[in-house]
Amino acid sequence: MLQDAQLIEAWKGSDGGRPQTLVRLSKHGRAQFLSYLEQLEQVIRDAKRGATARGPLDAPTGWLPA
């Protein structure tokens, strides 16, 4: 699946008669992964900004603590 999406490159072979598979990110896969990390970092920045605006323990209106 990841190889079909061109996110990874894989090679299969053998080393001393034992099967061996080598896998690495492709250039496209690395770009997609970095984009994903940027999205996660944005979520963290948004969460920090929201916590600062409401206070760390304040729930949004209409919500009760569990």
Domain coordinates in residue numbering, the chain:
1-13+27-54
Region class of 65: left (phi > 0), else alpha (psi between -120 and 50), else beta: beta
Tens-digit pLDDT profile for residues 13-66 = 998 899 999 999 999 999 999 999 999 999 999 888 876 655 556 777 888 776
**Residues 6 or more apart whose Cβ sits within 8 Å of residue 10:** 3, 21, 22, 23
Residue 8 pLDDT more than 80? yes
CA–CA dist 51, 55 (Å, integer): 5
In this prediction the pTM is 0.63
